[in-house]
A and B are shown apart, each in its own frame.
Chain A
Amino acid sequence: MRLSFSDWLDRQADRLFILPAVLILLTFSIFPLLISAYLALSRFQLTAGGYQLRFVGWLNFKKLLFGGEQYHFLGVFVPVPWYGWLLLALVILLLARSIAQYIRSGKPTLFGLIGRAVTTAAILALALLLAATIGAGGQLGSLSVTVIYVAVGVTCQLLIGLGLAMLCSQNIRCRGFFRVVFFLPLMVTPVGIAYTFRMLADMTQGPLAGLWRFVGLGDLSWASQAWSARLVVMVGDTWQWTPFIFIVLLAAIEGQSREQVEAASLDGASYWQIFRDVTWPEIAPVASTIVLIRVIEAFKIVDLPNVLTNGGPGIATESLTLHSFINWRALDLGGSAAVAYMLLIVSTVLCASFFNYVMQPMRSRRQ
């Protein structure tokens, strides 16, 4: 029996369907990772004839953590202020409680303990870093700044997005109008947003200039103060990404079982009780998934700090990606790759932790 080409093609269909995607992804994930690793372990120099790559081992990383680039990556260390101690205490308390819960829950495994140890160490290290660089005279490095962008930014986006979704799911008119309007910011390119907010935040010429003068901040140049600059970046980021969370949570709230809400209402529950006991448990898994997606993307933030403040003042608003880019521009390929790898490690550890210790328990409780 002779196999025609089309027959053969059909039998290979199973493989051919998935092969392009897998091949492309394998190539483009392995390849860059390896090359980047190699670059991170070497030093790039322009020479007379072109360039030279010299293997230098852990030098780039050492510079980031202990050496000349430490101020850039980790920050400048100062004595821990009182609110730093508070933050540390809070973090330690939460971590200890979660570990205790795990051990008490009956079935701790070796893998589980190792995983939690890694997560705890990572979170503790970040908290320590934050506490030790946040005091007066200190300076936050790009690592801390990125973590702040992610933590504060995503939290705000979640709260606002959830609030908007709850408001929009009420029995109000023009719901479609609000839905479309609230979705718009997601469409605007981040570069465009950065310029727009620069225009808006302009203290002297912007539309809100009158407001600033009225409040007495007319002479403040937000771009020259570390925290106000970071605030503006986070405002722009929140403005853009809240719709993402809003649109998904709105669909989730609207999709919930109507009869459960009616039953709770008949039983006498007030609006807030219904939200706590019926709505939130139902949308929590969706919310956690969308938060994870947002966190994954948030770690990569670069357009806003770059265009809004160019990483300034100094390095106050630099995210890790921006830090890496600046190194690249300065032809320090090794340093650039090293920072990129640190970003990869930090975001992978934190995202995996979130997935395992926040999302999975939520999922298994429902399933």
Chain B
Amino acid sequence: MSSWRHFIESRRFGELAPIPKAICYALLALWSTIVLFPLYWVFVTSFKEPVDVAYPPKFLPFIDFQPSLHAWRYIFVDLGNDTFRPYANSLIVASVSTLLAVLIGSMAAYALSRIEYKPKLGSVISFILLLAAAIIAVVYWQVDWRLAVVVAVVIFLLLLRALGRHFKRHLGNGDILFWIISQRILPPVVAAIPIYVMFQHVGLLDTHAALIITYTTINLPIVVWLMFDFFAAIPRDLEESAQLDGASRYRIFLGIVLPLAKPGLIAASLLVLILAWNEYLLALFLSTARAQTIPLLVAAQNATRGPQWWYMSVLIIIMIAPVLALTIFLQKYIAKGLLLGAVKG
């Protein structure tokens, strides 16, 4: 009886008894298989000839089937440009939008963590109303959009003074932060058509610029959410002593604060990069030929190639390879960043 318990109850602190430990390893191995097998299958399939894809399924290269590079050759050589262009587009769009999102977002997060804002409710409401009026004017009455913007701005500035005196109620940093983060709830599909219309109006459809602007916008909230806690955790003494020495806010931000928040920046950048790299819906709406990104290329294969798994596999591999490599190196930072955001957030 007691020897049976010996296998189930742990003797030492922090150590598992043999049987629970074995179960633990078994379960972990099981999930590892679940994770790795699909990736392995894709990898292996990219080296298969069409005949090797038919039943029965073949698992091991050199043993079950002879690997061949025909799919790789086709995608890279035969389709050459058709493959490289979306790849380059994805690279450009993802990296530029990440850079912008991280820059603008961390500036905003830093400001929210250091400066107390008190935007008056009146001016916020009037800004919204004026923007709405301008949009309605452009759409309904075909007013030139540049004219509408100028008029709206002028009226806003005029109103600002008057409102400032009458409506004293203001919002705080918490409200601003909550509003920024809640932008994530907005489903992209709600914004897709209007954004499409807007870019078409301005002539930016199917360009890098359109995608970059859009991705920067939708990923800003994430950067703000993550970076806010990092900045809040940095003690102010360093900045205050720099201020006494005469440094401007910009210099303090770039030279002192950003280097200290490096883990958070890495986490945020990686997360945003991945989101931008994998983004599908908005790219679908906003680009057709020239600015096509890789997710679109992969999805489009469906129509032309249907179950041509070998080509699909190659495309999937080149799509996930860079992200995979980056992640393996920087995975620690993401965990820390996400945790910090979740604890305070």
In the complex, which of the residues A9, A160, A296, A299 has the most CB atoms of chain B within 10 Å of its own CB atom?
A296
Which residues of A165-206 have CB atoms within 8 Å of chain B's CB atoms? 167-168, 170-172, 178-193, 195-197, 199-200, 202, 204-206
**For the complex, is A110 an interface residue (Cβ under 8 Å from B)?**
no
Q: How far is the CB of A27 from chain B (nearest CB, A)?
A: 7
> Pick the contact of B320 from A13, A30, A188 — CB < 8 Å?
A188
Q: Is B131 an interface residue (CB 8 A)?
A: yes
* Contact A247/B28 with A189-B319, A209-B57 known, Cβ cut-off 8 Å: no
List A35-66 residues whose CB lies under 8 Å from chain B: 35-36, 38-39
* Closest chain A residue, CB of each to CB of B42: A196
Interface residue tally on B, bucketed by range: 35 or more
- The chain B residue with its CB closest to the CB of A252 is B339
CB of A262 within 8 Å of the partner chain: yes
Q: Is the CB of A289 within 8 A of B298?
A: no
The answer on a CB contact under 8 Å between B180 and A25 is: yes
Instruction: Choose from A34, A199, A204, A336 the contact partner of B309 (Cβ within 8 Å).
Output: A199
User: Among B28, B115, B334, B342, which residue has the most Cβ atoms of chain A within 10 A?
Assistant: B342
Contact with A along B307-345 (1 / 0, CB 8 A): 101001100100110011001100100111011011101
Contact B339 A189 (CB under 8 A): no
Listed stretches B73-81, B161-169, B190-198; interface member: B190-198
Please choose the segment from B104-112, B203-211, B233-241, B258-266 that sits at the chain A interface, where 4 or more of its residues have CB less than 8 A away: B104-112
A215 in contact (CB, < 8 A)? no
List B residues 1-35 near A (Cβ within 8 Å): 13-16, 21, 24-25, 27-28, 31-32, 34-35
Interface flag for A26 (CB, 8 Å)? yes
Q: Which residues of A have CB within 8 Å of B28?
A: 164, 167-168, 172, 178
Decide: A204 near B38, CB < 8 A? Known: A179-B331, A186-B274: no
Digitize A263-288: 1 where CB-to-B-CB distance is under 8 Å, 0 elsewhere: 00100000000000000000001100
B187–A344 CB distance below 8 A: yes
Q: What is the distance, in angstroms, from A292's C-beta to the closest C-beta of chain B?
A: 9
Return the contact of B15 from the options A171, A186, A188, A248 (Cβ within 8 A): A171
Report chain B residues within 8 Å CB of A22.
108, 176, 180
The answer to whether A35 touches B21, judged by C-beta atoms less than 8 angstroms apart, is no
Q: Is the CB of B56 within 8 A of A209?
A: yes
B24 contacts A189, C-beta separation under 8 Å: no
List chain A residues, Cβ under 8 A from B224. 21
Q: Is the CB of B135 within 8 A of A34?
A: yes
Given A20-B104, A196-B38, A204-B55: A25 and B220 within 8 A (CB)? yes
Question: What CA separation (Å) do A182 and B31 show in the bound complex?
Answer: 8
Distance (whole angstroms) from the CB of B105 to the closest CB of chain A: 6
The yes or no answer to A106 lying at the interface (CB within 8 A) is no
Contact A207 B41 (CB under 8 A): yes
B250 sits at the interface (CB 8 A): yes
What is the chain A residue whose CB lies nearest that of B33?
A181
A155 within 8 A of B: no
- What 0/1 readout, one digit per residue, does chain A (203-242) give for beta carbons within 8 Å of chain B? 0111111100000000000000000000000000001000
Q: Is the interface of B mostly helix, strand, loop or mixed?
A: helix
Q: Is B185 an interface residue (CB 8 A)?
A: yes
Give bound CA distance, A286 to B220, whole Å: 22
Size category, A interface: 35 or more
Contact of B335 among A9, A251, A297, A347 (CB under 8 A): A251
A328 interfacial by beta-carbon distance below 8 Å: yes
Q: Which residue of A lies closest to B270 (CB)?
A: A187
Query: Cβ of A172 and Cβ of B298 under 8 Å apart?
Result: no
What chain A residues lie within 8 Å of B95 (beta carbons)? none
Contacting residues, chain A, for B309 (C-beta < 8 A): 199
- B236 CB to closest chain A CB (Å) equals 15
**Bound state CA distance, A210 and B56, in angstroms?**
8
User: What are the residues of chain A within 8 A of B157 when measuring CB–CB?
Assistant: none
Contact partners of B284 in chain A: CB under 8 A? 325
Taking the complex as formed, is A337 at the interface, i.e. its CB lies under 8 A from any CB of chain B?
yes
Interface string of A59-95 (1 = CB under 8 A from B): 0000000000000000000000000000000000000
Q: Determine which of A199, A302, A320 lies in contact with B42 in the assembled complex, contact meaning CB atoms within 8 Å.
A: A199
B contact residues around A306 at 8 Å (CB): 299
Question: In the complex the two chains form, what is the Cα distance from A32 to B334 in whole Å?
Answer: 31
* CB atoms of B131 and A27 under 8 A apart: yes
Question: Cβ of A35 and Cβ of B323 under 8 Å apart?
Answer: no
Give the chain A neighbours of B249 by CB distance below 8 A: 10, 13-14, 17
User: Which positions in A face B, CB cutoff 8 Å?
Assistant: 6, 9-10, 13-14, 17-18, 20-22, 24-36, 38-39, 160, 163-164, 167-168, 170-172, 178-193, 195-197, 199-200, 202, 204-210, 239, 244, 247-248, 250-252, 255, 262, 265, 285-286, 289-290, 293, 296-297, 299-300, 302-303, 306-307, 320-321, 324-325, 328, 333, 336-337, 340-341, 343-344, 347-348, 351
Show 11 residue pairs from A and B whose CB-CB distance is below 8 angstroms, ordered by the A residue.
A9-B248, A13-B250, A17-B115, A27-B131, A172-B21, A172-B25, A182-B35, A207-B37, A302-B189, A303-B281, A337-B193
Given known contacts A25-B179, A184-B327, what 6 new A-B pairs fall within 8 Å (CB)?
Answer: A170-B21, A183-B331, A247-B331, A265-B13, A343-B190, A347-B187
What 8 A-B pairs are tightest by C-beta distance, nearest first?
A35-B194, A32-B191, A21-B108, A17-B111, A13-B249, A189-B278, A32-B194, A251-B339
